[in-house]
Structure 1
Amino acid sequence: MRIERTYRQLEDTEEVHIYDITEEELFREVPQEYDMFYTPFEKTLNYLNNDLDILVPIDEGNDFIIHRLGLNAFTKRKINQNEISGRLLSKVSPGFYQVLKDTLKEVYETHETKQMRFNYHFDGKLARFSNVKVVYDMEKIILISENRDNRGTNLSMIDDGKYGEKANLIEYFSQTGSYYKINDRYSWTQGVYNIINRAREPNDEYYNIIFDLVIAEDKPLVKKLLNELDHGRAHYETIIRIKTHEGILKYIEANLYSKFDEEGHLLSRYGMFKDVSTDSTRKMTRPVDFLLRGFDNSKKLALLIDPLSIKHYEFSEGFFYIVEENPETYRHSIKIIDNIVEESIKEKIMQLVRGERDELIDRLTYNVHGDENNQKIAEIYIERFEYGETAHSIGFLTDVTEERRKQQELIEANEHKTILIKEVHHRIKNNLQVLNSFLNLEKRAYKNQPDVIIDHMQSRLSSLAILHEKTYNTSDFKNINLKEYIVDQDAQLRSLIGMRDGIIFESEVDSDLNLSIDIITPLLLIIDELTMNAIKHAFPDKTTSNKISKKITKLDDDTAELIFQDNGVGIDDPSSITKNLGCVIIKNLTKQLDGKIELLQNGQGTGYRLTFPIIMEHTIEV
């Protein structure tokens, strides 16, 4: 037996791949060691669709007595409860004991439910899989398993490996969605809910939530395509029209696929949907717009969503500044690569388009409108991946023309500074990856509050965009004036949130407070988190005069202080905020800053005092 483990962060699920498990590892006949009492409702449990396994912890959770196993185990192994109950799991099934022991002990100690998925591979093929919840209840460990074999399962939708989280991220922020249907039950991705503009509901797994919204004129088309897909047609592509619950008409590109057995019987179906409405963006704001808006006012850095797709691309405004095109009239075409000087990079991009490579990280020279006298130097990063039958891509384009010029000057004057610039810009690029981690955490914490996630992402993106923009215009990364950054950050917050929620932002910063980029980066993110917490909790009444103020001063030559204050409703139970996800993020950022943060309770509202060093040992290696 061979075991491989992965953690699916977006699903909060541990995935275990089990290869070629043997009968000896799966089940051994051993004598009964413990008497087991009768399980209540045993007859009822036998009629459940899901397997229910009951284990009794022993030896402080280092082993488990088998009380009961679900019918699936006995059906496949041809054994009965009397041959397995009252035995230790480690002796009866050493293979599964090795797979489960750490998770079972963790659930036993924490009493927190864990999710797992088991994929069973035989002869190089996925034979079946099980979705399992591990629950602590009545001083026992209970495993609730949903078992399915591989007949009719589309593996690209289930076993999507390293591409799964990227595909989910693309769909979360876009108008692209997908589903698969097995045994008359549907599984819908987040992108489908973005298209129909509503939250997930429990009954969605039992009906086609897209086709139920099709307008009357297009229902005959749906009936026709389903009939053909039911009777031998493997693929159907068409455009259908739906009307959302708000009455918005949308045009949906549908790519539907059916899988049949050797006798022609339908096994499963899956589909990909894309909102191709030409006017949908005028009637509603899409989640992808909030992501792109986080890059507003950044003329040097561009976010590229599906840049390899001529039909479904989404670019932040920085792209149009870099290539000097009008976003209103621009039409994406593969001919744009003709303006790239380096032939090797042109070929690498074409390899991405053809699916011959998965990633491109390089620096290119771009002739604006084909003019060799108007050249720009840009760093490009594009990653390509396939999801279902569709290829997706995501990347960044960064204008480093001025940076390149300054870099050449610094090379001639000082090799040390040249290395410093490279490392600092590399660090800023890595900050964008940190946003993905924050997003994954908040998707779980605020899964029913998408507006909270969007506000947080906008604020963080804006702060990092300010940081990135200004670092291109300085040659001293150890003495950056903090006041300029705070002024710009307030302007962004006022634009994104203040005008919407009627919040006033006031800041007072010592004009001679100069810090390194190592300090400014976490400091700006801490201010973002404190601001988002205040917006979320401090101002339930939007009609009053709500204000957030910041005062940053030097205490001495080594230490500075941030006083953050709102005039909101205050905190009834200060101990409760320690459980807040934002508080956890703030503590981690404060630790990175080598600072100390404390809650202030003096008068109306809520305040915090953050003390932090003015000078930190520089971590950039030269």
Structure 2
Amino acid sequence: MRIESTYRKLEDFDEVNIYDITEDELYTPAPQEYESFHTPFEKTLNHLSSDLDIFVPIDDGNDYIIHRLGLNFLISKKIKQSEIAGRLLSKVSPGLYQVLKEPFKEVYKTHETKFMRFNYHFNEKLARFSNVKVVYDMEKIIVISDHRDNTETSPTVMEEGKYDEKANLIEYFSQTGSYYKINDRYSWTQGVYNILNRSREQNDEYYNIIFDRVIPEDKPLIKKLLDELDHGRLNYDTVIRIKTEEGTLKYIEANLYSKFDEEGNLLSRYGLFKDVSTDSTRKVARPVDFLLKGFKNSKKLALLIDPLSIKHYEFSEGFYDFIEEDPETYRHSTKIIENIAEKRVRNKIKEIMNGEKGELIEKATYYVHGDKNNKKIAEIYLERFEYGETSHSIGFITDITEESKKQQELIESYEHQSILIKEVHHRVKNNLQVLNSFLNLEKRAYKDQPEIIIDHMQSRLSSLAILHEKTYNTSDFKNINLKEYIVDQDSQLRSLIGLRDGIEFESEVDEDLNLTIEVITPLLLVIDELTMNAIKHAFPDKSVPNKKIIKKINRLDDKTAQLIHKDNGVGIEDPSSITKNLGCEIIKNLTKQLDGKIELFQKDNGVGYRLTFPISMEHTIE
């Protein structure tokens, strides 16, 4: 709050400009400290057009006990006389105390009446001014205030001390307006003038500009409802017919409310009007229809006009698509909130409905018709703002169900790829450790034959290189087609050894034989060892033609497959001797790792092995 004071000598009054006074500065609840006395003619005072405030000086005029405040202040702050009487002004209204303490003290000391004008500014706009007389009488400070509102803005807005363009916009588009009446004076929002299709006039505060346009047939209804509202009825809802100045007939939904004091005396009246005009053939064109057409055919974005109002809401078609309701039969209800999965979001919406919060921006899961098997994801924006006695709201719902699904798939894909990368690194490490172990064994066994060690290592590295190359860009480690690997393995062996030693490699593999990576890794190494053994022992005479190593791999049943590995070499004189060489030991260990079974069989010429093994083993990648 900022205060600037000027004495206007010609008019002989003090002008006080007050900038952006806050609600807390205007009113803060405080406990009663002093006993209040009865005010004569209280009922009469409540019907004065001006406010009359009474203060009792204490502490030599440095503070003041509030005895009575005018109705404008009480109603705008929604408090009762009993909630401010007997309290210190400095505690109940620090802002007003700051403004009034010096002029009050001057009047208290001099007993001379003081004339003042208070100008209230909000957001750099003059919203309200008050002509004030400060009088000393009966050892009390009495303040008589005649409040006036800036005619360029809505009176209701100024009672609340704020100017909000959104409220005018909402009232314009929804064809709603409101008024309130205190001390027999009316304050009208801009929306009422939109309905009447006319501008504000100077005398509008002195009569009901809506009821004055009611057609003769509905005059008895107006008389009845006003009579009931004057005598204890708190609210009355009805539809009335009016004729505008240019002769247009309109149907107006009226929601009227009365407020009474503790003794049953009428304090104020508040009303909300909505233009619900229709004719026999079509809906009368309204501004809100033009606005909603901007969202026509939008399935993903919905505009919500006054979604917190059960009676006066307007939604674009995207809202009905989202909740999967027919706009012709849908009836707005707070029950729709219960279909939101997140309790946190439900609670925040309820806080906005209760006026505890002003804005909500949330992502929420919505169960269509409460069905958890039919859920949608939305971004929700909701804003509530007060406009005098009227509460308005505006909102947007953006359907991001598909986008959320794609985003979740990307997240899961990223997490999956991270696991795969870790697994590939783990497998590379394990395979290198296996190769290192084989190398150490062969260094001791073939220390005088380095060419054997090199051939074996080249073969193993080639097979593992094929494996890693083919699995690098896949995420499916459960269904690896074996034939592709065997074809590539034969090609590598032919390049490394076949061309050098004149050996042909022939393979026959079932087309649909798919293995898990836990199976295919040791299987390829077993084939390597069997092949290197055959190269080493089956063909001692390098000049012999038509040397062949043949593989056949086929499925035996749903769980088991078989490898037949054979050569057309010199064969084995003593089969028992083969089990003692290093190559055979390596094959046994790999077969054990494969959870398979291997056996040797002899042909007329050459040696053969039969290996049975499972098609799948426990898989670590999901």
TM range (shorter): 0.3 to 0.5
- TM-score normalised to structure 1 length: 0.41
* Structure whose alpha-carbon radius of gyration is higher: 2
Q: Could you tell me the TM-score, scaled by structure 2's length? A: 0.41
